[in-house]
Structure formats: C-alpha cells, structure tokens
Structure 1
Amino acid sequence: MADRKKPGTAYTGTSGRETALGVVEGGEDIMKNENRVKHMDAAPRGRAFKVTVSELYQREITVYESEMKEATPEEALRMVENWWQDSQIDLNEADFQGVDYSLTGIMDAPEEMEGGE
C-alpha cells in the first residue's frame, strides 16, 4: 500500500508511451509496473473497459454574516465557491473522505486487433 498515490497529490505526467487502453508503458506513472496484470505486457486485445476513479474531499467552511454583503445562504455559498476558485481553500489529506470506482464505458476491440497480427 506504500506505493499508492497519496490523496491530494497530483499526477504530473509520464515519460512512457500510452497504449490504446490508456496504459502507460515505460517511464513512470501512478501505477507501478510490477502491479500490472501480466497479460498487459502483450499488445492489448478484446474489449476495453474504462473505469473512473473519484476521490472525495470535504471540509466545512464557516462564513460569518459580518463577511457577507447580504446575510443569505446563497451569498454564503457564492463566497465559499469564490474562495475555492481563488485557491483560498486548499483541500488536503485531512479532508479525504473516500474513493469511488465506476465503470464509465465499454469499447469493442477494433476488428484489426481481434484477429491478431
């Protein structure tokens, strides 16, 4: 588990080559190559499954009436949104609430790949 990307850290890219499935070969990426499924060393075959990984960060922000032009819930939401947009709110590891994995698509393999090469 020590190799897992820490919450709040950004993926900055790779020096490798991206395959048709979006798997990076060579170079470094956020998944260690030794953790990949063995069959991924060969050319990708069959259907491709796209999975989205979503991390949830939450923090409760208090907005006082004295900070607002109008003391309304809408104004409080607008102010917090502006603060976040202006990077005045920085969510970090302490705000990490969990992760969700969802299947976002299945693509059939191109015909030229199905028959082999």
Structure 2
Amino acid sequence: AMIIAVLEKRAGLRLVDQDVFVNVVGGMRVNDPAADAAIALAIAGARMKRGLSSRTLVMGELGLLGEFRQIGSLGQRISEAGRLGYSRLLVPIHRSETDKAAAASAGRQMQITTCRTLDDALAALE
C-alpha cells in the first residue's frame, strides 16, 4: 500500500481504481526494503505499458517522498549482480568507499545508473 501511495503522489499514476498484485518467482516472501524500488518500477511499468530489460536489476528502498534510500551491503550486491550477468543496474547514490569501489569495478562490465528519486528510475523505463 505504501508503494502504491508513493507512485500516486510522486509519479502521478492513478492506481486507486486498480487491483494491484505483485507475484514473486517461486512464491518467495519479499521482506528486504531494497526490493521497494524494483516493485515500484514493475507496477509503474505495467501501468504505463513500459518496462525494463530482463538484464536490468533495480535496488533501493523507497521513501515516502519518492527518494531512493541507501541500502545495506550495496557493494556486495553490485558485485553479485555483475557475477550473475546483469548488464544494467539502477541503484541509490553510493555513499561508502566500499560501495564506490564496487561500483567502479563493476562499471567496466555494466552500466550503473544512480537514482536519487523515483523520477530518476522511472526515466529508465523503455
């Protein structure tokens, strides 16, 4: 419900009259706040009839003002995304030196886009 509210308020998407369901592969439960941005982009993309490449990974906690919040272990997540073959990442701004180093190293293999807000991420929808 919080992600829907942020999409309505910050992205101007009308969702109040829609039934919104999010299905996760294998029925896994998603309790990591780092999945907020990915879920928001999936919902927005479906509503806008736009999407992301299957080789794009989105990570970030979404705040009530539509801001991308820093997530834990970002450097490790970036490294793992590269190992798994993702070619593009949408992530929050890197703050720690470890995160910056991981992004610089992975940046040679994939395109990394840092997002401050939901609008930054929505601009990546194709």
Asked whether the two chains share a fold, i.e. TM above 0.5, the reply is no
Q: Which of the pair is proportionally richer in helix? A: 2
Greater Rg over alpha carbons, structure: 1
* Bigger fraction of residues in strand: 1
When normalised by structure 2's length, the TM-score is 0.29
